[in-house]
Amino acid sequence: MSDMFSKAGEYNPVSIIAGNQVPLLPEGVTLAMGTGILSAGTVIALLTTDKTGKVVDSTKTDGTEKPYGILTDDVTLSETETTEATVYVSGYFKSDALIFGGTDTAAIHKATLRTLGIYLI
C-alpha cells in the first residue's frame, strides 16, 4: 500500500532546487559556441570579451572563473552559432546536484554564489 501512488516507468528527475526560501529568478543568457549537451544544474560564467556564457572554471582568467547563474534546463550547444538558454540568478540549490567545469566544486564557488543570491545546501 505504501507505493499506491507510484506508476510503472514513471520518471522522477533529481531536482537541483533545495527549497523555496529564496526566490527563483530566471534570466536569459547567450551561450558560446561549442559541442555537446550542458545539463540542468551546470554553473555558467560569462566571458569578459563578449559576455557569452560558458561552464564556470576557476582555473581560467577569461571571466569564466566567476559564476553567473545555474542552467535551468539541458541545452544542446551549437558548433556554428551561439545558443540561447535560461539560468537561475537567484535561488536555493542542492550543491551535490550542480555541475562545474574542470576540477571545480561547490565549495570553491559557494561564497561567490552567495553574493549573487544563490544559496547552496
* C-alpha–C-alpha distance, residues 5 and 79, integer Å: 43
> For residue range 50-80, what is the model confidence (pLDDT) as tens digits?
999 999 999 999 999 999 999 999 999 999 9
Name every residue whose Cβ is closer than 8 Å to that of residue 96 and which is 6 or more positions away in sequence. Answer: 106
How far CA 15 is from CA of 1, 11, 90, 104, in Å, comes to 26, 12, 16, 21
Q: Report the pLDDT value the prediction gives residue 13, as an integer from 0 to 100.
A: 52
- Structure confidence by residue, pLDDT tens digits, 20-43: 999 999 999 999 999 999 999 999
pLDDT at residue 4 greater than cutoff 80:
no
Residue 1 has pLDDT above 60, yes or no: no
Asked whether 116 and 66 are in contact (CB, 8 A), the reply is no
Kindly tell me the burial class for residue 37, based on how many C-beta atoms sit within 10 Å of its own C-beta (0-12, 13-18, 19 or more). exposed
Distance of alpha carbon 20 from alpha carbon 7, whole angstroms = 27
CB 10 within 8 A of CB 51: no
Which pTM value belongs to this model?
Answer: 0.88
Q: What's the distance, CA 35 to chain centroid?
A: 17
Backbone angles phi, psi at 71, to 5 degrees: -55, 135
- The predicted pLDDT at position 35 comes to 94
Percent of the chain's residues with pLDDT above 90: 88
